[in-house]
Amino acid sequence: MKLIVGLGNIGQEYEFTRHNIGFIAVDNILKNLTFSEINKSQFKGKLFKSGNYLFLKPSTYMNLSGESVVAVKNFYKIDNDDIIVIHDDLDLKLGALKFKKGGGAGGHNGLKSIDNHIGNDYHRIRIGIGRPENKCDILGFVLGKFRDEEMEKLEKTLNNIEKSIFDWNDKTKSKYSLKGS
């Protein structure tokens, strides 16, 4: 079983914000899959299953994401090596992708929370959101909504994430079901 976690904040005011790119990425993947939703309050998030993949959107707000991740990890007995966390990164240009395993949280409170609950030896997909022109307004920028032209630029990035996840491990590559298959 593989666990794909998209980080973000719940609530309409956060939809399509830069900080919610993890949620946006998971939604983009799910639109091409046949999946079922798993409703268990103990998971503290929205959990979807397609084949051998679980997709999690924590509903704990970003700073407490680890509570949701550890609940799903423990329930399904998932190794950290089978977890990918998708999140925003200010230090990467808009649309840039960086894949890594382990490392520090880099000031990202969602990652800090996950690290505190399960350690830091899981996989990450960092999605560049760029930096604001006014470097003093980091919070407003991160919690600001993507402009239409930014979302258009991110479309290719989001599709590359989907492909990368299913190519991630050859032995599980064929164990998901696409809509219409």
Name the 3-class secondary structure at 142. Answer: helix
In-domain check, residue 176 = no
Task: List, in sequence order, every residue forming a beta bridge with 101; answer none if it has no partner.
Answer: 123
Question: According to the model, what pLDDT value does residue 135 have?
Answer: 73
CATH of the domain at 89: 3.40.50.1470
Q: Is a pLDDT exceeding 70 seen at residue 14?
A: yes
Q: How far, CA to CA in Å, does 62 sit from each of 9, 14, 121, 138, 165? A: 6, 11, 19, 16, 22
Mean pLDDT for the chain? 89
Reference 81, options 171, 157, 174; nearest CA is 171
Reference 62, options 101, 125, 18; nearest CA is 18
* Number of separate domains in the chain: 1
Q: Is a pLDDT exceeding 80 seen at residue 180?
A: no
DSSP character string of 41-56: GGG-EEEEEETTEEEE
pLDDT digit string, tens, across residues 25-75: 999 999 989 999 999 999 999 999 999 999 999 999 899 999 999 999 999
One of 19, 87, 108, 123 is an active-site residue; which one? 19
Assess whether 123 carries a catalytic annotation.
no
Q: Is a pLDDT exceeding 70 seen at residue 170?
A: no
Question: According to the model, what pLDDT value does residue 172 have?
Answer: 38
Q: What are the tokens at 160? A: 């590359």
Domain containing residue 10 = 2-170
In-domain check, residue 177 = no
